[in-house]
Structure formats: structure tokens, C-alpha cells
Amino acid sequence: MEIKIIYEDENVLAVDKPAGIVTADLINRLSKRYPGLKKVHRLDKDTSGVLLTARNEETLIFLQKQYKNRSVEKKYIALVTGNLKNESGRIETLIGRSAKDRRKQKVYLPFGPASQGKREAITEYKVKARLRQGYGGQERYYTLLEVFPKTGRKHQIRCHLSYLGYPVAGDKIYGFKNSALPRGLTRQFLHASELKIKMPGKEIKEFRANLAKDLELCLTNLKKKFPK
């Protein structure tokens, strides 16, 4: 598996993570070339895009402090099923593990006993394009989004968009039964496109990863644009 290096110096290594590999396994592979590599954050197995790692303990602590303080700026590209009503929005809930399906996270509202121990999760989004595709004699609708997670909970974007009623296209865990699926899409359409963070030398760095080729191909098969 070819791993594209976005940036490297004595403190950090930023890579363009392919879909289909767990973050920990990817770091283990990279550690053969970069000994002592440490995980700063994670991406889901089937999410591609910018993954930042630390090359020493001091840098790890410095970078993770920014994640804890919510000063890291992150942007994802997501294709969701359906014609999302608003042009932009903010989702603010609590998130915790689902009692019915331990693989999943679940949205909880901040009232009642079930909310105890759950963690705040905030996601903002903006519509990039409204798309459609003929399938089985019917038109299926999709919305391409820029997504800005303000917190970093497990499966946050996928859980929040499903809660909104527009799950990420191709998501096998958070998608609805009989959800529309663009032709040729074999995994969830979620890509970490940008990450902006302060480096140990106090310089602000912005890392970018172009949309993965399989997702780019999926978009070329969709038609733009239809009325709201």
C-alpha cells in the first residue's frame, strides 16, 4: 500500500491516509521507516485524508493539548444521501456509545438519566453541491458537504449526519436501511481534506489532502445541480 507523505520534519509526519486501513496499523507500518512514531488523532478505517502523527513525546503532548483545547481547525468532505434542506448548519448534542449496538455511537440530548457520562459533540457543515443520479428508473438525491467538527468524538461526523436524517453515503453502520448508494461507491464517502494546527516552533501549519480518487470518480458519475 502506497502512503503519500504530505509533510515531514523532525517533529511531525503528516500523511494522506488511504481508506481501508486502521489508523494504528498504518502507524505501525510507517514506524518501520520513522521509528517512535506516535498517534496524535485517528481517522476511521474507511475514512481517507490528512492524518497527523508525532515523532517524539514532547511534540505529541504539544499537539494533543491543542485537540483538547479545540484549537485545531479540521475540514472534511462528505457526500450524504438526500437533499439536505439547509445551506449550512450546526449540530450540537451529547454523544456516547449505543447500548443496543456497541459498534455505534448514539446522540443523546442533554436531559434525563441517559445523558449522564455522555460527551459534548459539535459539528458544523456547509453545502458545496446538490447532486442526483438516475437509478432503477428513479432519481436519487445527494448533497456534498464541507464539514467542520469542533470536537473530536468517535464517529462524530457519521453519527451527527445520520441523526440529522442524512447519513454519509456508503456508511454501513450509520446508513439507513435501503439508503441510496451512488454507483461505484464501495465505502463511506468521508474524506479529511484539511487540518490546521500550531507546530512546536509556534508556526501555524495547514495540511491538505486532495479528494481520494475513488471518491472523485464517484462524483463524476453524479449530475449537478437540481433545485432545492
Q: Where are the beta strands (DSSP E) in 1-114?
A: 4-8, 12-17, 38-39, 48-54, 73-81, 88-97, 105-108
Residue from 9, 16, 44, 46 carrying the catalytic annotation: 44
Residue 118 grid cell: 455522555
| Alpha helix ranges (H) inside the chain | 23-31, 57-69, 156-164, 213-220
Residue 14 grid cell: 503528516
Please enumerate, as own/partner, the contacts of 57-65 that have beta carbons within 8 Å and a separation of 24 or more: 58/200, 59/11, 59/12, 59/200, 62/200, 63/12, 63/197, 64/40
Residue 215 grid cell: 471518491
44 belongs to the catalytic site: yes
Q: Are 205 and 110 in contact (CB under 8 A)?
A: no
Residues catalogued as catalytic:
44
